[in-house]
Each structure stands twice: as structure tokens, then as C-alpha cells.
Structure 1
Amino acid sequence: MRGSCAAIMVAGLWLVDPGGARAEEAARGGDIPLEEITVAGTTVAGTATPRGIVPAYAGGQVAQGGRLGILGNTETKKSPFSVTSYTEKFIRDRQATTASEALALDPSVRATQTTGAPFDSFYIRGFPANEGTSGEFAFDGIYGVAPSFRVFTDYAERIEVLKGPSAAISGVAPNGGVGGVINIVPKRAGEDLTRFTLDYGSVARGGGQFDVARRYGQNREWGARVVGSLRGGDTPFDRQSETTGVGALALDYQGDRFRAWLYLLAQTDRFDAPLRPFLLRAGVPVPKAPNGRLNLTQPWEYSNIDDRGGLLRTEYDLTDQITLFGDVGGAQTEVERYFASAPTITNLRGDTTTTPQFYDLGVNRLTVDGGLRARFDTGFVRHAFVVQASRYAEDTARRLPPGNGTYLSNIYDPILARTIAPTVIDSRPRLSDSTLTGVSVADTLSVFDERILLTLGVRRQGIEAHNYVSNVGTLASSYDKSATSPLVGIVVRPWDNVSFFGNYIEGLSRGDVAPTTATNSGEILAPYVAHQVEAGVKVDAGTIGGSFSAFQITRPIGELSPQRVFAQTGEQRVSGLEFSVYGEITPQARLLGGLTLLDGVLTKTALAANVGNIPIGVPRVQLNLGAEWDLPGVPGLTLTGAVIYTGRQFVDTGNTQALPDWARLDLGLRYATVIEGRKTTFRANVLNVTGTNYWAGVASFGTFFQGAPRTYLLSMSVDL
């Protein structure tokens, strides 16, 4: 068996080695403890293990497919869409503690924040995601369960990215994202596991994690997995400390006809002196990026975020061809923070003005869905049919009193300012509420032993929303809209290892929320429709795979006018070419990464002079390339490296202020061995090895973060 190979084919069935752990031991030449091998057959939606996850591809870094909303788990070569699923093994080897860090090698994704910020935000295919108070993360394919601001990887078995608008198959994204969907596949009990991990990061932050999984019963039909972690200490940023805690429980029952999964999740995130994005005063050129460790935020500014969530999923097979399913879940987020939303850079010297504000937010969500999946034949045509109805409800309450003072500083020479006491409002008035309802129908028709697959679907979506006057709670605006979102996808496989695919899909989104910098801050704009067309080819050479696709996405956008009024007056079009590669070059060498070329243009704007300009935050080039090499002569020792490059990005729609392009180099070593019969893995990673100073990325409202400094990560994992 090759080193790090995650699965082998026997008599047409996949014999799965989750994460490639036994294969890594074989590569070291040590004794391999025989464990239960899971046999995964073909489900209605594709190939998946009984734990509901698609097996890993050769090299163990990505999976052989991923979840396509209501279409379920689908093999890459049979999918009419672009989806990448990153494995737990890859996440652990990167020592990525958040979803943002785990997606660092995806060429279609860019984090617009740095590691010292109390939230994760992204651009996917040139469009923003997770930039407001509503979480854009899906949890096991369902919105409304995952944490709102940051997702920690402790409880993630896979982190999947479905690229492009997906309202017809995933429903409306709660915060309006159309560039793609990030789905967290939670850890579940598979083979028995008892793993302890100790980790340390510069400059003085450490902690540990435990991960325990067991199966019980005569047929191992009952499963339980418990994950917990606690980390704390000083980060690489001056005067900053962070404490995080995570607890997750997954219970499941796998009967002959009935199956059920229960997930419970809690996490807390405490920041002192969290990093904030910067605003740039109009007419001021972008100054040179400061040293990444410098921190403008004061020690008395803070962010406290607590998340709780739960999800119950059930399935019942009426017959061998018909399955009923139903899900219910929800989450609660509590935020208390005191800092400036975005310090303003006032000149090329890097002088800043900062007005901290107290911010108290509560978000409650409830999601329910149910439906039916069926397999049947009509003549020589095979069908995989699904119908689903869903309801998502969210309400938020917030108090955001005005700032009580301002302090001056400089990005190159931050000052320690006196404490500014916050203005306090006792009540927390309602801010907004929304209800998203939908009914979806989809059918995948296949012929000639799945050499040709045609997916047709439609979703009728309703969006009802109310917005209330900030700090007052009286109704300010409301709407009740509905629309129909279609999808068409086709896959043609002239050879088993080559797939040509194409799709047309629409994304219906709740309107943007006006940012805090707008005079109508908090107002919800009317919903809008995005359109995507995409075509490409996927190749699987057995141990190495890749894809090429061309796409175009068009959607309306909200704009901040010169009078700082936020309104839906623009339209943005992004065309792109995506190249990706993954898998094993040789049994000792692995690749993961790709290249995305973007051509973004503003086709409509409030100011006629901006028509034809490049949208905020859309670079021309995004390049990611990661590699691993098992060093000869030292069994178990692996050298890792990654290069991440982002082209120039504009901060304003007038294209007068631009962040320069930047590149980052990451290096690492991993040593897997057996100590007293226990599998033990040591990892050492250095992010931003050269200590490059750079501006990390631009959010849709023109704010931008400094890049993180050189960061050292160490860990040791032991399987008992």
C-alpha cells in the first residue's frame, strides 16, 4: 500500500482508510495494528461511508467528492458543479484552528481578515461571504447551526467548498453570499479513537484537545464522539491575547431502516486587543503595510463571543428505493465587545483616528426541513429524485451606543491610549428578523452506466424580513418577496477518468445589510438574484487529479454612495478560469493547490464614471500551491511547503486606491512514529516564513486587514 493512500478498490468496493493513518504507518515500515475496515457502497446521492462522508482521495488531503446541497454526497467525477472537500488529516497537518486557516490553499477562496481578528470572512470567486451578523457557514449541509463569526476546526471531519451560487440546492444563504457555500461536515463516530493533542503557537499561546470516538451494540449501530479543546495565551500580535474553548458531542444510531444523528456544539472565544480592519480616507493612497505584529487596538478593547448549536437529523427507508428524512436544529450567538469597527487611516504617513463603541448582539436561529429521496428507473433512464421543504428563522437584537471618545495613533508606531469608558444603553432592542422558506425539487437522470448525467432542479423561495431602528427597536422597513431559482447541470464521461461538465444556476439572496459606516446602518436591502454559467473538465489519473473550469457570475450589489447611504444601485460581473490539482505525484510526494484568474467588472454603479471599473476586493490572480515530500532515509518524516499569492485589489469602486499584490511562504515538518505502541505525530509549521509585510485582503465595504507576521506552530498528537 502506498504511503498516505486513503482507499483501495477491491471487487468494485472502496475499502476506506479514513485519513490514511494505516498507510502512513506502512510508509514508516512499522507494524500496522489491524483495525476494522469500513466498506462503503453507493448511496442515492453517491459514494459515501456509513458515517456519511466521501472517502479521501490519494494523498489524504481532499475527498473524492462532497455535498451538493439537497443532492447529497456526490463523487467529483459525477458532479456538475465545482466542489472541494478538505479532510481532517489535511486540517490537522496544517495545524489550522479555524475554517479560514483550513481554506488557505483553495485557489477560489481568500480570507479577508487576519488570524488576530474575532471573525472569519471570505471572498469566493470574487464575491464576499460571512461579512455580517448572520453565519454563512452550513453545518452538515444546513444553515442556522454553525457558529456565526468563527468556525473552529476541532469538530470538523471535512470542510467543503461548493463554488458558485447555490440557492436551488442549498437554499438562500442567510447573509446573502453568492460566490459559494462553505459546509462543515461534523465529526462522527467511525472506528474507535482516543486521541490527545498538545499544541503551541507563537508567541506564548498553547492548549490541548481530546477526541474520543466509540461504537456500541451488537452490530455497532450506536456511536458517540466527544471533542473538546482549551487554548489560551499571547498571540503573535502586540498586546493581544486570546482564550478559546470548544465542546462538541455527536451521537448516532444506524439501524437497518432508521438512522439518526444528534450534534451538540458549544464554543467560546475571548479576545483582548483584537485586530480590526482599516478604513482609508477618500483621496489618500494606500500606505505601505506595517509590520504584521504591530497592533493598533488598545489592551482595554475586547471581544467576547459565545455560540451554542444543535442539530437532529433522521432518515427512514420506506423501501429500498424510497427514503424519508427530517431535520431540526438551531443556534444562539451572544456577542459583547468594545472596540472600533474600523479605524480610519487619514494620510500616507499612516496616522489613524479610532472611536471605540460598545456592541452587544444576540442572534437566535431555528431551522427545520424534511423531504423524500427516491431511486427509480423509467426505461433505460435511472433517476435520483429528491423533494425538500425547509424553513429558516432568525432574529437579532443589538445595542450599539455612540462612541464616547476618540484616540489618535499610527499604524507604524501604535500608541497606548488612556481608557475611554463606553457609553452604556441598558436595553438591547430588536434589530432585525427574517424567515426564509423554500420548496425544492431535483432529479438526476443518468444513462449508459452513468456516462451521462443530467441534473434538473427548481426551488421556490420566500424571504420575509423586518428591519428595526438601531437602538430603538421600532419597525423601519420590511419586505415579503418570493422567487423561483432553477438549476441545470450536465456531466458527460466519455472515459471513466474524464468528465466534462456544465451548469446554469441562480442564487437568490437576502439583501445586504448596510454597514456601520453608512448613514442607514443596519438597513436590509431587498433580495437579489445572481446568475452563474460554468463549464469545465475533471480528470482523475488514479493517484492524481485535477480540474479546469470557466465561469461567469452576475449579481446586483449594494453600494455606499458619496453621501454614505447604502443602497442596491450596482451590478457586478466576475468571469474566471480555475485550475486545480490534488493527489500523489509519487507515493512519496503530494500536491494540492491551483490557480484562479478573475476578470471582475462593475456593469452598473451609482456613479456613471465607475462603470467598467474593477469591483472592490477582486484580484486578477489567485495562486495557491502546497506540496509534501516524504524524506528518504527517515521513515515517517515529511517536509511540507506552500506558496500563496494574491494580485492587486482595489479598495474603492473608483479604482483610485489599491492594495499591492503579495505572496506568502509557509514551511513545515511532520514526523509520524510509534512510541510504546502508540501512534504519535509531531508537527512544526512556520507561516509567513520570510516575515513579509502585506495587506491581507479587502472586504466588500472597502475595509482591509494587515497580514499576519511570521508565526510558529508546534503540536504533538498521541492515539491511545
Structure 2
Amino acid sequence: MRADYGTRTQAGGHIDVARRLGDARQWGVRFNGSLRDGKTPLDHQSREASLAALALDYTTEATQVTLDLIQQREDVDAPTRRPSLTAGLAVPAAPDARRNITQRWEWYESTERSALLKARHALNAQWSVFASLGAAQSEVNRLFNTPVITNTAGDTRVSPARARFDVHREVAEAGVRGQFTTGAVSHQATLQWSHYEDRYRMGSVAGAAYLSNIYAPVDRPAQDVAAPGTTPKRSASELRGLALSDTLGLWGDTVLLTVGLRHQRVASDNFDPTTGARTSPYAKSAVTPMAGIVVKPWQGVSLYANYIEGLSKGDTAPSTATNAGEIFAPYKSKQQEIGIKLDHGSLMTTASLFQIRKPSGYLQDNRFSVDGEQRNQGLELMAYGELGGGWRLYGGATWIDAELTRTNNRATQGNHAVGVPRTQFTLNAEHDLAWVPGLTATAGVTRTGAQYADQANLQRLPSWTTVDLGLRWRTVVASRTTTLRANVRNATGRDYWAGSSTWGTLLMGAPRSLQISATVDF
């Protein structure tokens, strides 16, 4: 059980209870629940969020069946919105991170319910079958819209809209797994069928535009915008796949070779919200390969490489676009990676080179489109584990060259992709303070390099660095194990643009905030 309190009056609690039942303890039940409510660190913003999750399972030596039921709800007054920039406008300096340019009378409500049933049964010591079936329903009701920054003085124009969204998703899978040998070669084979489908509905009613400013927000009279009478279908998608893979173990599993093929079919339809007529159907099938190898030449050393192709559903226009919910054509993605993992005992380090090709979308005149390709090439270094003397760390660094390899404008071809910083660095460290048993100091540093918010590379977001600090004390109170925590986020109070979405909206960095909590084990 945990209770916490954040900057201003954001308070919350969490409970996690689990039990095993039955003569052989074959039945299991677990409940997770949380509730947070109150004012956030942002001006005139309040947020209420709740989560209820129930997990049931039946487990025997040969069979396991699980059922997960989840409901989440979030209500926000004056929700934070990512502003976009007028074309060609330089990125203005970030405002005070506590400033909220959303009006007090704008709001957001969302509810999500999901269920997932999974089963696994061992036929014998080598073979097992598995299956799962799930569904999720997301409902959003809101009154707000995306501010557009019109000049370097930070003036904005907002056209609020009352909107309702309804997204329904269904998933299913079934398959068989087996372990066997052929001579001196071991095999771990899987045959898997999968199915996914979704339906997206949206209705909206426009309000009256108003002006404000990111540095000095202006209060405007409340608007009473009627809820949309209907939520017409905007798009629907269906993905089906059949995959066969085998991991071969050679020379005592010092070499692991994985090969596989996957047949996929993706079908997507867009619909006219007025007539309901299908406007742009897409359908594509492909057989895509996958291959990977792991070589363990010495104890604690693993060399690996992989190549994966996949057919994916096309990008979906964001809710901020005039064509929100529109699905674009399916695409084939390609990913290559090579790397090394070193196990030093209490410390693990990794290094990898990777390349990913995927479509590139952008927002122009508030309309989202996808007609290009970007290639991400990079190097990633990671380290995590214990250093000794009560020190622990988790850190990483990434260098990415994200190039627009194909665009609809020769002037932008070869430019850096939107929303991808060239460098990212994180380092989180913990140190046990010996002078107080159970007391641990924590610190984290995040450094993100400059990035662009437009394909022309004229709208540049500067690099930024933040520092987080904290204390954790694990002790015993009234015979109960208790953990007390205090964390300061963005301890230096840095004002910054945290990043850009692929369609060019800007994310404001989180303000300095304090959160304290107490967790008690029963």
C-alpha cells in the first residue's frame, strides 16, 4: 500500500493485494488500484486519475490460464496541449514551465476498459500450445484544441472544439511451441497465428477562436460548445499474420541462430464522416523474413546481429489534424542491428549499431500526410548494475543520424528528420548512505540534443539538461516494512522545450516538482 503527495495539492494512493487459493494453491487473484486527485504543478490545472486492475489465474503443472481486467479513467481541467508553429517561424524561447496556456474552462475526460484472456497448456515435456483473446475500448470526451504560435513574441491562436472519440480494439493469437533436437543441434520452434483489428470514431463541434500568449496567458470568457450529436466512423484496420520461427543451438548453445518467416496482411479503410462511404481502402500482403544470431565466444561475452522486416499498419493522422483518424497506406519497415553484451558480474554493458527505415509524416496547414521515408542510423551504449561500495547505476547514450531519404520536396530531402535529437544521454545513480541504515540517495541527469520541428530544418529546438534528486529510506514502522521516498524532478527549475512530435507540435518540459510517498508492506 502506498500514499503519496505532490507539488501543490496532487495527492494519491495505491494498493496491491494478492492471494493464492485452493488445496494446491492453483487459484490466484491480484488487485491493483490507484487514485490521484488535486492540483498539478501547472497553473490552474487539476487532474483526477484512477486505475483498477484485477488479475485472475489458474495454474497447475501443465496448464496456466490468466484473465486480466483493467479500467482506467482520467479527468483533467485545463489540460496541457502541445502548441504548433506557424510555417517558417523560428522556435521562440520556452516559457515558464509552470505556465498553462489552456483556459480554465477547457477540459478532458477519458475512460479505457480492457480484458485479456490467455491460456497455455503443456502437451508433454517438449511441446505446448497457447492462445489469447482480448479487447479494449477507449472513450474520450474533451473541449480544447492545439494552440498555434503565430510570432516570436509567443502570441497564439486557438480554435477550441468539443470532440468525442471512440476506439475499439480486438486481438487474438494462437500457436504451438516445441523443443527438440536434430543430431547435435537443439531447436526452439514456434508457429503462431495473430489477429488485430480496430475501429476509430470521432465527432466534433467547433467553438470560437481566441487569442492568448505562451508567456502571459490571457483568460477568455468560457464557451458553451454543444457536444457532437454523433461519432461517425472515420477508419478501421485489420491485421492478420502467420509466423514460423526456429532458434537453433549449435556447439552447446554457444551459437544461437534464429530464422523465421511471417506472412502478413494489412487492410485499412477510411470513411466519409458525413455519408459513411468508404473513401480510401488499402490492402497489402507480404511475406517478410527475420534472422538473428548470437555468438558467445567467451564467458560473459555475447555478440549478436539481427535483421527484421515487417508489414505495419499505416500511420494515423493525430487528433490535432483536420483529417484526424485518417489511416495511410500500410508500409514495410526494415531494421538491422549488431551489438555486443558484456557481463562483468554485477555490471552489464552493451553497445549496438542500428538502422531503421520507416515512413515520414508531417503536418502542413493542419492536415497530416505521409509521403516520405526516413532512415535512422545510430549507436547506443548502455550500462547498468552495481559498482560496489553501495553504488548502483543505470545509464545510456545514443547518437542518431535521422535522415529524410525521400520527401515530396527536393529542398528537404537529406535533411534531419523531425523530432529526433542527434544525441541523448541519461545517467541514474544510487548510493546507500552507511551512516543511516536503509537510507539511499538517488540522482539522475538527462541530456537531450537539439532537434527540429519541421522538415525544412528551420525550426530548431535547443538542447537541454535536467537533474532529478531523491532520497529513499527503507525501515520498519510498527513491525511493517516501510519505504519513504522524496523526489525532486527538474531540481534546477529549467524551462525548456522537451521535444517535437513527428508532426511538429512542441512538448513543454515539466516544471520543478516535489513528490513524497510512503509504501507499507503487509
TM-score range, shorter chain: over 0.9
Q: Contact between 1:279 and 1:703, CA under 8 Å: does it hold in 2? A: yes
1:519, distance to aligned residue in structure 2 (A): 5.6
TM-score, normalisation: structure 1: 0.71
Cα separation, 2, equivalents of 1:316 and 1:705: 46
Match of 2:378 in 1: 576
Equivalent residue in structure 1 for 2:98, among 265, 290, 293:
293
> Structure 1 stretches of 5 or more lacking a match?
1-195
1:453–1:388 CA distance, 2 compared to 1 (3 A): same
The residue number in structure 1 matching 2:420 is 618
| Structure 1 residue 557 corresponds to structure 2 residue 360 | yes
Are residues 1:719 and 2:521 paired? yes
Q: Where do 1:642-681 residues align within 5 Å?
A: 642-681=444-483
1:596 aligns with 2:398: yes
Q: Which structure has the larger Rg?
A: 2
Identity of aligned residues (%): 45
Look up the SS of the partner of 2:215 in the other structure.
coil
Deviations 1:4-25 (A, max 9, x none): xxxxxxxxxxxxxxxxxxxxxx
User: What is the CA–CA distance in structure 1 between the aligned matches of 2:511 and 2:207, rounded to whole Å?
Assistant: 32
Q: Which runs of 4+ in 1 moved over 6 A?
A: none
Give the aligned partner of residue 546 of structure 1: 349
- Whether the 8 Å CA contact 1:511–1:527 is kept in 2: the answer is yes
What per-residue deviation string (whole Å, max 9, x for no partner) do you get for residues 327-363 of structure 1?
Answer: 11111111101101x2000111101011111110111
Pair 1:224–1:565, CA change in 2 (3 A) = closer
Deviation at 1:661, TM superposition (A): 0.4
Output the CA distance in 2 between the equivalents of 1:220 and 1:449.
37
**Counterpart pick for 1:505 among 308, 312, 316:** 308
Q: Is the 8 A contact 1:359 1:398 kept in 2?
A: yes
Deviations 1:226-264 (A, max 9, x none): 111111000000000000111011111111211111111
- Identify the residue that residue 460 of structure 1 maps to in structure 2: 263
Q: Letter of the aligned partner of 2:134 in structure 1?
A: G
Matches within 5 A, 1:245-256: 245-256=50-61
Distance 2:388 2:191 in 1: 43
Q: Residue 297 of structure 2: SS of its match in structure 1?
A: strand
User: Contact 2:163 / 2:227 at 8 angstroms: preserved in 1?
Assistant: no
Partner of residue 387, structure 1:
191
User: Distance in 2 between the 1:389 and 1:254 partners?
Assistant: 24
Q: Indicate the residue corresponding to 1:3 in structure 2.
A: none
SS at match of 2:421: coil
Q: Kindly indicate whether the alpha-carbon contact (under 8 Å) linking 1:626 and 1:641 is maintained by their aligned counterparts in 2.
A: yes
Which amino acid letter does the alignment assign opposite residue 390 of structure 1?
S
Match of 1:629 among 410, 417, 431: 431
Secondary structure, in 3 states, of the residue corresponding to 1:494?
coil
Deviation by residue 1:15-40 (Cα, 9 ceiling, x = unmatched) = xxxxxxxxxxxxxxxxxxxxxxxxxx
2:499 matched to 1:697? yes
Structure 1 residue 587: Cα displacement: 5.0
Which amino acid in structure 2 is aligned with residue 555 of structure 1? K
Q: How far is the alpha carbon of 1:616 from its aligned partner?
A: 0.3
Query: Which one of the candidate residues 130, 147, 151 is aligned to 1:325?
Result: 130
- Specify which structure has the bigger relative contact order, considering alpha-carbon pairs within 8 angstroms and separated by 6 or more residues: 1
The CA distance in 2 between the partners of 1:530 and 1:274, in whole Å, is 34
Counterpart-to-counterpart distance in 1, 2:49 and 2:111: 10
Residue aligning to 1:346:
150
- CA offset at residue 520 of structure 1? 4.4
Q: Deviations over 1:641-662 (max 9, x none)?
A: 0000110010100001111000
- Structure having the higher strand fraction is 2
TM-score with structure 2 setting the length:
0.98
Residue 262 of structure 1 aligns with an amino acid whose one-letter code is: L
Residues 313/518 of structure 1: CA separation in 2 closer, same or farther (3 Å cut): closer
Confirm or deny: 8 A CA contact 1:398 1:471 kept in the other structure: no
CA distance in 1, matches of 2:274, 2:51: 32
Secondary structure at the aligned position of 1:398 is classed as: strand
Of Structure 1 and Structure 2, the greater helix share is in 1
User: Which residue number in structure 1 is paired with residue 244 of structure 2?
Assistant: 441
User: Aligned pair in 2 of structure 1 residues 664, 228: CA closer, same or farther (>3 Å)?
Assistant: same
Distance 1:520 1:297, change over 3 A: closer
| C-alpha contact 2:360 2:404 (8 A) present in aligned 1 | no
Report SS of the residue matched to 1:384. strand
Q: Secondary structure at the match of 2:411?
A: helix
Shift of residue 517, structure 1, vs aligned partner: 5.7
* CA displacement at 1:482 relative to structure 2: 1.0
Deviation at 1:632, TM superposition (A): 1.6
Residue number in structure 2 paired with 1:357:
161
Aligned positions of 1:42-441 closer than 5 A = 196-340=1-145, 342-401=146-205, 403-441=206-244
Amino acid at match of 1:584: E
State how many pairs are aligned.
522
Structure 1 residues 517 and 313: alpha-carbon distance in aligned structure 2, compared to 1, 3 A threshold: closer
Moved more, 662-671 or 452-461: 452-461
1:481 pairs with 281, 284, 295, which one? Answer: 284
Q: 1:293 to 1:400 in 2, by over 3 A?
A: same
Q: State the secondary structure of the residue aligned to 2:225.
A: coil
Cα distance change on mapping 1:559 and 1:283 into 2, 3 Å: closer
Residues 361 and 502, structure 2, Cα contact 8 Å, conserved in 1:
no
CA distance in 1: counterparts of 2:324 and 2:408, whole angstroms: 18
